[in-house]
Structure 1
Amino acid sequence: MTLSDEQLDRYARHIVLKEIGGAGQRKLLQAEVVIVGAGGIGSPAIQYLAAAGVGRLTILDDDKVELANLQRQVLFTTRDIGAAKSRLAKRKVEALNPDVAVDFSARRIGPDNALRFVEGATVVLDGSDNFATRLAVSDACTRARVPLVSAAIGQFQAQIGTWRGWEPDRPCYRCFVGDAFDADDCDTCAELGVLGAMAGLAGTFAALEVVREIVGFGQSSSGRLHLFNGLTPEMRSIRIVKDPSCRACGQPATA
């Protein structure tokens, strides 16, 4: 594809980066990214991926905007309270960048429909807030051989990882958390709190990793988990080892 004069102007700061250039920008414009969750992590990620010129975004969120969301979900305003997040996100993206086509769904994603949502995507970004959704998305991405960038936050902590579990030497998200589940007495964000800026940090970093997967600049982050401590503050990265007994990526049928 040939970039128009308007696109050359809009994406000029990308194009002058030798690690991206015109070829990288064309990859972005031809990419399809699925974003699970339009909340604290999804809000900044959606905005930066739309601004970057990702050609198609599919936004999945079954929730509505609440007043308590606005401390960290910067995609929304006070006037948006009560409206569906996924539909609002589509409108915001269309206003930000007409180059980006937007699909959305207000259906909850789970094991029964995750594969249908992620198949054909270039990358999936998961900013959901529960293990049931994260594991359903991860298993579907592994099966469909779609790179997954996952991000999570809590209080003053954030973690971001990139997963390519179908590759023989790379772990999936399930290798990291196992068969984790959401206990009935599990503490929630509402009970423990979360610093709004940590959501922005996690979402922006996740968007960076999505762009890295699409364009291929720098070193791959696959299989590495980046941990942020907002109290210290400090960041560290750890390597996650593939679990040979993982039921999603450790079996020959899904390798």
Structure 2
Amino acid sequence: MPPSYFYLRPGAFNLVGFAYGKTEGESTRGGKVKVKLVHSGRWVDEEAQTAEWDQDELTPRAVSGEEAEDGAGTFMGSAICTSTVRPGGGRVWDYGLVVGYHWKAGQSQGWLDVNFDGTVVSIMYDSASTQDVAVEVYALRPCLGQSTSHLMAAEVKAKHEKKLYNRFNGINITATRDSKVLLNAVGAKAVDESKIIPLLDITSFEVTEVTIRHILDFVYYKEGGGRRQRECHLAIQYSTKWSLMQS
């Protein structure tokens, strides 16, 4: 029996965000179906996971195998770094918030609706040039405007994770909240912490706007005390959103 594929809401697996799942057999006694995580998009490197769902809940969320293996939908609600072409310029790295996605079956291609500082643009999803980033990396934007020829995807990932994320969170190094120190360490310009950027509340799908300073303060002081060593995705709950706005 060929596998069936489904697009699942946050909480379907032990992950923060949307994911694709697949079934490879008949329903078990009680109408439950074992669903396996599809390793695509944001979750390509995740360990194997399995969950049980009612078949009636799965059926309306069926998608094609092509879409599931492509993985574009996993970025819904995520902060990303991706390549864009500036008007009259070259291809550079930019940071945005994924507020929607769609799959074009005729093209066998996923598209992301990305909020770039208040302007929503639909871009073709390319796994080679789309990176899910932690919210603190999204706020600091160390590779913003850098040419994709000068700075390749693997180099961008290293700057995000090994140099900036680890230093901010104190992973194998003394943690620091100082944005100037963090950005100077990766050869990037200082950021204006009063700048307002969008965040998505993944529970209500409302976009709100907060300052970079609020984001950095919340993650550093309130979530981890400067020593946090877990991945911080953009799936901020409703209470978190108000904490950011009121801090």
- TM-score normalised by structure 2 residue count: 0.28
More helix by share: 1
Between Structure 1 and Structure 2, the one with more strand by share is 2
Larger Rg: 2
The one of the two structures with greater contact order (alpha-carbon pairs below 8 A, sep at least 6) is 1
TM-score by length of 1: 0.27
